[in-house]
Amino acid sequence: MIIFISCIILFLIGLYSIVTKRNLIKIAIGFALMEYAINLLFALIGFRKGALAPIITSVDSPHNFVDPIPQALVLTAIVIALGTTALMLVVIMRIYEKYKTFDIAEIKKLKG
Amino acid sequence: MSFIPWYFALPLLGAFLIPILNKIWKPLVLIFTTAITFALFILSLYGIAVVHEIPMVVYKMGNWPPPLGIVMAFDAMSAFMTLVIAVIAFAANIFSLQYLRTYTGQGKFYTLFMLIIAGMMGLVVTGDLFNMFVFLEIAAIASYALVAFGTEAEELEASFKYMVIGEIGSLTFLLAIALLYAKVSTLNLADVSNVLQTFRYSPIFWTILGMMIFAFSIKAALVPFHSWLPDAHPAAPAPISSLLSGVFIKVLGIYTMARLIFNVFGLSRATDPVFFNLLIGFGLISIVIAGLIALAQRDYKRLLGFSSVSQIGYVLVGFGIGNFEGVTGAIFFILAHALAKGLLFLTSGSVVDATGTRDLNKLAGCGEKMPTTAWSYRIGALSLIGLPPFIGFWAKFYIVKGALKAGLLWIALAAVLLSGLTLAYLLKIESHVFMKKGKNDYKEAPFLMRFSMVFLVILILIAGLGFNYVFDLIIGPAAHALLRGLEYAQLVFASVINF
């Protein structure tokens, strides 16, 4: 149970970094932390103690496998996280070109 | 081969062929995207015809049966949403053909445009929780990029703000899926709904539901999670604003929320009145607060953005009322708001295209020089306010009828009186832009832009005048599909054998 809770704590650390940090890159790092936390949680959900990798090599191979679905989900989630992180960093780069700063307090052309 | 995968396969195919076609001959891209959105429109009409005969069509990906494999579950609600997406996508596509002539990078634009459609189409036809997340992210990532498409300082800032808030929503949804999977060990919506009933009303049940509603409230831009929308939607090019405000927030926020609440978690007004009253309260807060902020805006598109936040509240009120009339009203409202707000954002594109500014104080005199745009705006606005011959009236009519039937007199009153707020902020644009006389040499929009506006105007009129046909064919079955509640699961498993 304690490992599941520590995943949630990692998730919250990421959220804390997004909400409080003023540097754009630190906000991007916060998202990376949240994504890692969820991927770790998925991997732990599928884990079973002493179980094998879920590969059936013959008809009579042993049946104590770890749950393969979370592993597939993590792979997909990593790809999506790659997409969002890449896009976010590109937008941060373009913002830096326009505003010459990473500080969100100085990036405020939009009002309301 | 079933017709269901084509809903997202067709735009995905388009998305990845467009960069190649763009290298060969640029006009080919325009013909190709128009052909795809038109094909989707025809396909969604065919889908409506199919669900009229069979209540649920299930497609098994790779032929794996439901609890193990991924299924696409296509019922009347999905058919309705695909139609709304296809109509607005088609209008936005036609509009963009000429609107984008001043932009560079058309190939990239249409690639992202196709991806956003593929994501939304996939989201409404899928019957699998994780698949839902994947399609949601496809649509969301494409929309972040499209908001930044102009790459000016404001657009990049709006995109970053939207991305930060939107991703918090997406990741919360993913965390909720992880917790749910840990508890139920399945991802198929029908199977999840069966297993969830074994621990109904336990703390974990409410935690997961709460996290999902938080995530979808961000995607639907409900107050107090609305702050990204008035920045992001105006920053995008006008056809994309029209697509985002018209269908995007409803597909990613409202459809997913309604599907999970009614069909997967199996809540209904009869069993959980407190929860549904909370939905109504949430909706009313959105209507009032966003409506009041909209009154103070001086930017054409920003005002319409706040108006979207406010109108989404009505949809939530309709679902919160929870009886057949209320849900019908909410679904009617999705259609009415998609057509009307899609149209209004297209008129904003036409005005910006002619004048080069969105500031209401500088836009006097558009009414005389741009009659088609002005009349399109007026009809869209009248429909949004809810005047009788247009479809917006029937949406509000059913919400009020449902509220009265459920004995919620003050909500019926509020729904009617708050139309005054809608009237007030839409009149602001009318008086500043179209009624006020001014000296200028603005030109009316080019043919294809006028065509797509008139196309939506005609749909608003047809749907409003023939509302009983629309109700019988599209809206009624969709409301029944949602109110089917937990029978959704049995229907999915029963339909696997038929197909």
The ipTM assigned to this model is 0.94
Q: Which residue has the tokens 């500014």?
A: B357
Chain A residues contacting B via beta carbons under 8 Å: 4, 11, 15, 18, 24, 27, 31, 34-35, 37-38, 41-42, 45, 67, 69-70, 73, 76-77, 80, 83-84, 87-88, 91-92, 94-95, 98-99, 107-110, 112
Average pLDDT, chain B: 91
Q: What does the CA dihedral B226, B237, B21, B81 come to, rounded to 10 degrees?
A: 40
CB contact under 8 A, B175 and A38: yes
pLDDT tens digits, B29-54 = 999 999 999 999 999 999 999 998 88
Closest CA to B152 of A102, A4, A94: A94
Say yes or no: B168 contacts chain A, CB-CB below 8 A: yes
What mean pLDDT, rounded, does chain A reach? 88
Compare all CA atoms of chain B with the CA of A19 and give the residue at the minimum distance. Answer: B164
Residue linked to tokens 């754009």: A24
DSSP secondary structure code for residue B202 in this structure: S
Q: What's the rounded mean pLDDT across residues B114-129? A: 94
CA B473 to chain centre: 20
Q: Is B63's pLDDT higher than 90? A: no
**B346-366 per-position pLDDT tens digit:** 999 999 888 888 888 888 878
Q: Do A84 and B141 touch (CB under 8 A)?
A: yes
- pLDDT of A62: 67
**Residues of chain A with C-beta less than 8 angstroms from the C-beta of B211:** none
Residue of A nearest to B178 (CA): A42
Residue of A nearest to B176 (CA): A38
pLDDT in tens, B375-413: 999 999 999 998 888 999 999 999 999 999 998 899 999
- Mean pLDDT across B209-233: 92
Which contacts qualify for B191-200: CB closer than 8 Å, 24 or more apart? B191/B66, B191/B67, B191/B489, B192/B129, B192/B264, B193/B263, B193/B264, B193/B265, B193/B266, B193/B486, B193/B488, B193/B489, B194/B489, B196/B264, B196/B265, B196/B266, B197/B266, B197/B486, B200/B266
Query: Is A31 in Cβ contact with B175 (below 8 Å)?
Result: no
Do you know the residue count of chain A?
Answer: 112
Name the residue among B141, B164, B230 with its Cβ closest to that of A18.
Answer: B164
What DSSP character marks residue A105? G
Per-residue confidence (pLDDT) for residue B497, from 0 to 100: 64
Q: What is the pLDDT of residues B243-291, one digit of tens each?
A: 999 999 999 999 999 999 999 998 988 888 999 999 999 999 999 999 9
The answer to whether the CB of B361 falls within 8 A of the CB of B443 is no
Contacts of residue A60, Cβ cutoff 8 Å, sequence gap at least 6? none
**Cα(B333)–Cα(B317) distance, rounded to whole angstroms?**
11
Report which of residues B183 and A48 the model is more confident about. Answer: B183
List chain B domain ranges: 269-465
* pLDDT tens-digit series, residues A60-80: 766 778 888 899 999 999 999
- How far does B157 lie from chain A, in Å, by closest CA? 7
Q: Per the CB < 8 Å rule, is B178 touching A69?
A: no
Overall CATH class of domain A2-51+65-106: mainly alpha
CA atoms of B224 and B226, how far apart (whole Å): 6
B453/B459 Cα distance (integer angstroms): 10
